[in-house]
Amino acid sequence: MNLAVIGTGYVGLVTGACFAEYGNSVICVDSDERKIAALKENVIPIFEPNLAEMVSRNRALKTLEFTTDTKYAIESSDICFICVGTPQGEDGSTDLKYVKSVAADIGKYMSHEMIVVDKSTVPVGTADIVRSIIADGLATRGASIEFRMASNPEFLKEGDAIKDCTRPDRVIVGVDDDVTGDTLHELYKPFVKKNDNFIRMDVRSAEMTKYAANAMLATKISFMNEMANICERVGADVNKVRIGIGSDSRIGYSFIYPGIGYGGSCFPKDVNSLISTAELAGYEPSILTSVVKVNEYQKRSLCGKVVARFGEDLSGLRFAVWGLSFKPNTDDMREAPALYIIGELTERGAEISAYDPEAMEVAAESYFKGNGRIIYAKDRYSAIDGADALLLLTEWKTFLCPDFEMLKSRLKRPIIFDGRNQYDPSVLSELGFEHYQIGVGKGDAGAL
């Protein structure tokens, strides 16, 4: 099939590359000329395992093309995917200016019947807005061209996006007619092994499903972190509690790991957007607002432990930090707990020696630009040399089984603040480490 993918951010680039991999002719469009020029040179603006190779391979096969020419892409396609960004507004609602701009372009340039698919994460009712803008654009031109709207939300996990796209748990499509549903089913056929993986529903329910899924996962994370905070106050061990409740098949082990909170581009924005949607509809979403409140507390909980151990003034101290990205296998630092933790520690006078396998460049050039209290180490062990303590903030595989004897010899003091509860307390205790975890009954220091 001939596809246009408008927007070459995380979702658009992965989606376009995966569709091209299965033989479709894909034109990816972006208004950012520098990004498109880089993509034409096989320079990928994000880190995602195997994506660069897939893009390069399909550009060579002529199944994947990059352009800034929106008119050309729309005129050349039968299905147009809208994959532009939907940033969060100051009030927590979703800003649809980029989606609306694409809709206006489609109405301006559409030359034949086509299917328009919202793949960006958008509030319920956005497809109706897009439909109206396109119809107005056609009417202005005096053109009578039939088009069909669909919602096809993405469920890509950063670090596993290609797998999630090509071997999805489910493909959700919201459609108003069988023709659109059948066409999209044909497009996704290589990706779904069973028909029940391809789930059709009405457009508004599809839009809602995306938000409901992310809100549920964020809720599980905040729930477990709340249990961790209670455990600290009553002398229980949340790691054992997690095993106990996870063994219940109704609960399971996914997303019930205690830690320093969720981050990234999806959960924070989507939960806030759903809260805004509910409030606009006249409903107060008390569970969702609590999810956000717990998460904000959790991001600062590790700082409370550091201050309780070293004091309010951290001047003259240096902390090694392992992990900057909000999760492993990505360089994405949006809403990452590391932003809050490092920011708080440096404001209190501490120096930071940080190492992350992928996120140091974006950290230095964007998020911590101008922060002279941070140095970036060449490897994980260089980061700890002479540090007063180690903070584990992201559970990259390279951090999970370190040489603890080496850690002890190179740290100024054998202290680990384990923000992801990855290390065995009994092992560290035998080696003489002070080991601070989330949700283990040593008494809560409170978040800052």
Could you give phi then psi for residue 39, rounded to 5 degrees?
-60, -35
Q: What is the 3-state secondary structure (H, E, C) of 364-379?
A: HHHHCCCCCCEEECCC
72 Cβ contact list (under 8 Å, min separation 6): 27
As given in the structure block, the two tokens for residue 423 are 């290390």
DSSP 230: H
Single out the catalytic residue among 231, 266, 303, 401: 266
335 Cβ contact list (under 8 Å, min separation 6): 262, 263, 264, 265, 267, 268, 326
As given in the structure block, the two tokens for residue 377 are 């180490």
- Among candidate residues 96, 292, 303, the one with its CA nearest the CA of residue 207: 96
Amino acid in the structure at residue 348: R
Which alpha helices (DSSP H) does 142-266 contain, by range? 161-166, 178-188, 203-234, 238-246
266 in catalytic set: yes
Q: How far apart are CA 158 and CA 47, in angstroms?
A: 9
* Three-class secondary structure of residue 440 per DSSP: strand
Q: Whose structure tokens read 């320093």?
A: 260
The answer to whether residues 381 and 399 touch, using CB atoms and an 8 Å cutoff, is: no
Instruction: Using alpha carbons, list the distances in angstroms from residue 429 to 25, 50, 171, 186, 258.
Output: 58, 39, 47, 57, 21
- Among candidate residues 217, 187, 156, the one with its CA nearest the CA of residue 10: 156
Q: How far apart are CA 229 and CA 165, in angstroms?
A: 36
Active-site amino acid positions: 266
